Amino acid sequence: VSTVVESLTKAPRNIAFPQKDGRPQLISEIFGQNVFSFKQMSSRLPKPVYSTFLKQLRGNETIDKTTADAIAHAVKVWAMERGATHFTHWFQPQTDSTAEKHDSFLTLKSSFEKGFEEVECLDSLSGSQLLQSEPDASSFPSGGMRSTFEARGYTIWDTKSPMFLQEGPHGTSILYVPSVFISYNGQALDEKTVLLRSSEVLAKNALDVLDLIFDPENDERVNQVHTSLGTEQEYFLIDRALYTLRPDLKITGRTLIGGLPPRHQQLEDHYFGKIPSRVLAAMSECEYELYKLGVPCKTRHNEVAPAQFELAPIYEEAMIAVDHNLLTMDVLHRVAHRHKLKVLFHEKPFKGVNGSGKHCNWSLSTDNGINLLEPTAKPEENYRFLLFLLATLKALEDHGDLLRAGIASASNDHRLGAHEAPPGIISAFLGDHLTEVLNAIEEDRPLKTFGAPEMQSVRVGGTVLDLKVATLPNIARDLTDRNRTSPFAFTGNKFEFRAVGSKQSVSFPVTLLNSAVASSLKEVAEALRKQKGDKQYATKEDQLAVIKQFIKITKNVRFEGDNYSDAWVKEAEKRGLPNIVNSYDAFTRLREPRNAEMLSRVGVFTNEELESRYHILMEKYAKDVRIEAQTLLTMVVQLIMPATFSYRKDLAQAASLLKDVEAGCEPELKVLKELTPILIDLQKAVVTLEAEIAATDDITDDIAALCKKSQAILLPAMEAVRSYADQLEGIVGDKYWPLPKYTELFLNI
Ligand code: ADP
Ligand code: MG
């Protein structure tokens, strides 16, 4: 109680936005302050060096030594002007977060003065230090690709992502050098190397398709294609003091015990509601930090569940967006701390209310500003759009199960298919209009008209919707409505991959999606090539023929209805679409020859790299579940049972006292009798769970078997323990209960 009262009376921390001319600085004045941007580079580097750098960057060449030295010097000066004492290669091992090891700028230079050594200190950063570093990599997950005795791993500066400064201790700062992480043999040990590879092959194959349909009379030449990504981050915020009283949250990120309070999300009043002032203060400080880092935060709001919120940035090139999402999670975590709040990124921290996801908004854009997934007003005539749309559908058709593998984890399993998030069936939603466009083309018939005639006055991006209220302006209607139940929804000019977990790095799912689309674009290119024969480029008729062909072969994966319904599960089964309900099944799909062969063909994963992923994921799953199982055991044995015992003891003593004075002890006895069988069942469930945990110890050499057993046996055993513990929570006197309950966790900010 005192903790609750204490945290309720806490005044929100408010930092003043830095002022300029007597007003808070504008976002545009703060934005990117701590980023060594291209603009910074061009102003600080000699012109020839800067243009060599750009040339090497564009040509995907390695940066030469002289250029690297010059950049290292320039960035060091820039960083030191801003208080930097250290630099670090910042990379993304397969842990869903980032890694860093700081080195100071300090170097010693010795000279000999009359036979005596004189040591001089310098602040330096050399080109080779900037380009490459060698962390002792043996303690990062490698899935058996390296054994500890050959622990060499290298981090290499990813020249495409800008360097930036983060706060260090005592007012100093640290220079961050975004890097990839590879083994001695050049195998990817991280998330970024494969993402870069997948973006490259996707760009190449997209350019190939564009070349094939390039009409020199009417089209502008495209030189570059890149993947755009916008990541909507959902999260929970709870009071930090209460959080520290929950071992399950601290150790596993989710509550392993706890029942719903009478009021949670059923009134639907939290979504887009007024943001609590303490939360708003934290959000705003977080955004301030992120602006300085050049992260384009755009939207903040309350989410569906109590204490759940969302932060969405403006989309960026995929690898930058991934860096920025990881930074966002990191900054959110640190800033929440300052506000005595705790951010929970877990996909399902609370049973019974919505969990969190990270919608990945994905599209392809060209260097001349065209979004290849922009339908324009008449998608039926926009063949380029249709080809790219269909290539994406084909990727889902062929590799939906692979995409499902990319979002599988012990934590996301609690969310997917739980009637709040898309099921384990990967399908795509297109909306009425596009569905009709594809159907009409397939059936060789004219397009049906949409809605009332006045809505046909077409505007780019959609039709005009008349609101029938004179004072309100007419609005442009999107070509698609929303379908919140689809795991992969077309939302106007991009696909929204909605099944991605809130806690995971989006790098892996986006890498798999890029790879699958790269592969299907290759098929589109082959079909176009065949169709065009000797002609210079594929004509409209050629393109239409290919479009028709692809409409037919991707029909299966389109679904417009309610993805949460049981009817869809049946329908999907009829269609032969895989319904993958748990991570173990999902991970096995990485090894499917159809998937593995594609990933190696497009050059994103070697078989060895893929095999190592498979191992890391299976192993991580087993470890996650085991940690949860053990945490639950400890909590029940050390907290829940003793609390129940105390309550029983008090009830029993009261009953016997009351009996002595002949006051009637039936009410106390009634509660005692109610408690006893539940406690007995709880103890039995604990014994079973203990035995199952011990049994998993026997599985030592088969990681898949261990994963499967954790999922099939440990999870249900934990569920049984929880069900009895939750029953007790409802009966045992509140002052005896040792954990803050959902009511307090939800309503206390
Ligand atoms: P919604 O509310 O429908 O989810 P928003 O327009 O708010 O969509 O956008 C959600 C996210 O999608 C934002 O991060 C936004 O920047 C991003 N986004 C918008 N257009 C694109 C695009 N063409 N490609 C990738 N992401 C995009
Ligand atoms: Mg969205």
The pLDDT, as a whole number, for residue 112 is 85
Question: Which pLDDT score, from 0 to 100, does residue 150 have?
Answer: 60
**Ligand 1 atom, smallest distance to 313 CA:** 14
For 27, other C-beta atoms within 10 Å of its C-beta total: 13
Strands 132-133 and 116-123: unpaired
Q: What is the DSSP string of 301-342?
A: EE-SSTTEEEEEEPPEEHHHHHHHHHHHHHHHHHHHHHTTEE
pLDDT at 419: 66
pLDDT of residue 35: 98
Give the Cα-Cα-Cα angle 62, 66, 72 (nearest 5 degrees): 85
pLDDT of residue 138: 72
Instruction: Please work out whether the CB of residue 31 comes within 6 Å of at least one atom of ligand 1.
Output: no
Q: Is the pLDDT of residue 461 over 80?
A: no
- Spacing, Cα 590 to ligand 1 middle (Å): 29
Task: Give the CA distances from residue 53 to residues 25, 68, 178, in Å, rounded to whole numbers and listed in that order.
Answer: 33, 8, 17
The Cα–Cα gap between 347 and 370 comes to 34
User: To the nearest whole percent, how much of the chain has pLDDT over 70?
Assistant: 92
Q: Residue 529: is its pLDDT beyond 60?
A: yes
DSSP three-state, residue 228: strand
- Backbone φ and ψ of 241, nearest 5°: -65, -40
Q: What is the pLDDT of residues 634-686, one digit of tens each?
A: 999 999 999 999 999 999 999 999 988 888 999 999 999 999 999 999 999 99
Q: 98-106: long-range contacts (C-beta < 8 A, 24 or more apart)?
A: 98/326, 98/330, 99/135, 99/140, 99/181, 100/176, 101/133, 101/135, 102/174, 103/129, 103/133, 105/76, 105/80
**Ligand 1 close to Cβ of residue 371 (< 6 A):** yes
pLDDT band at 137 (very low <50, low <70, confident <90, very high): low
The verdict on the CB of residue 228 being under 6 Å from ligand 1 is yes
21: left (phi over 0), alpha (psi -120 to 50) or beta: left
What the chain holds in terms of domains, given with CATH numbers, is 1-28+234-357 (3.30.590.10), 31-190 (3.10.20.70), 204-223+374-605 (no CATH), 619-747 (1.20.120.1560)
Percent of the chain whose pLDDT exceeds 90: 76
Q: Is 314 in the pocket of ligand 1 (CB under 6 A)?
A: yes
Which is more confident, 448 or 618? 618
pLDDT for the residue 454:
38
Query: Can you name the residues that pair with 183 across neighbouring β-strands?
Result: 153
Mutation to probe ligand 1, out of 315, 371, 480, 482 (largest number of atoms < 8 A from CB): 315
- Rounded mean pLDDT, 287-300: 97
Ligand 1 and 364: CB distance under 6 A: no
Please, what is the end-to-end C-alpha distance for the chain in angstroms?
Answer: 15
Q: Does the beta carbon of 234 lie inside 6 Å of ligand 1?
A: no
User: Which ligand is the nearest neighbour of the Cα of 234?
Assistant: 2
- CA gap 645, 736 in Å, rounded: 9
345-359, 373-387, 412-426, 507-521: lowest mean pLDDT where? Answer: 412-426
